[in-house]
């Protein structure tokens, strides 16, 4: 299934709901374009809700890491929320759980941003 993104702003925090696969090619390109565009527009707080992401390949992982780096270099943060077991296991095996701030739900990720403000 091709990646579909829905974005909304909640209390100044940009939340992306990702649905489908994050794989090398158009899917990861779409995510990269949308998130980098938001960062370029000054958005510093971003949540990626991955509840409906059923597959990530190495290209998708590379995209997540690149977006994390881009946000960090711009003084921003990307938090991941609602990982499926498969995606969570993949991030654990690749040790990326130590890189990203991960929350059980989008609400908890948004709350973490609110409390930090």
Kindly give the parts of the chain with pLDDT less than 70.
1
Domain ranges of the chain: 4-116
pLDDT at 96: 95
Q: Model confidence over 56-80: pLDDT tens digits?
A: 999 999 999 999 999 999 999 999 9
Whether 100 and 68 have beta carbons less than 8 Å apart is answered as yes
pLDDT at 31: 97
pLDDT at 116: 87
pLDDT at 39: 97
CATH code of the domain made up of 4-116 = 3.30.750.24
Which three-class secondary structure state does DSSP give residue 30? helix
Cα gap 22→24, rounded to integer Å: 7
């Amino acid at each position: 299934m091709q990646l579909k993104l829905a974005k909304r702003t909640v209390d100044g925090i940009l939340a992306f709901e990702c649905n489908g696969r994050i794989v090398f090619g158009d899917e990861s390109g779409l995510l990269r374009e949308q998130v980098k565009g938001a960062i370029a527009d000054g958005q510093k707080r971003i949540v990626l809700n991955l509840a409906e992401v059923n597959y990530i390949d190495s290209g998708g992982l590379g995209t997540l890491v690149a977006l994390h780096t881009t946000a960090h270099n711009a003084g921003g943060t990307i938090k991941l929320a609602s990982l499926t077991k498969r995606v969570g296991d993949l991030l654990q095996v690749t040790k990326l759980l130590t890189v990203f701030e991960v929350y059980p739900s989008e609400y908890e990720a948004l709350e973490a941003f609110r409390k930090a403000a």
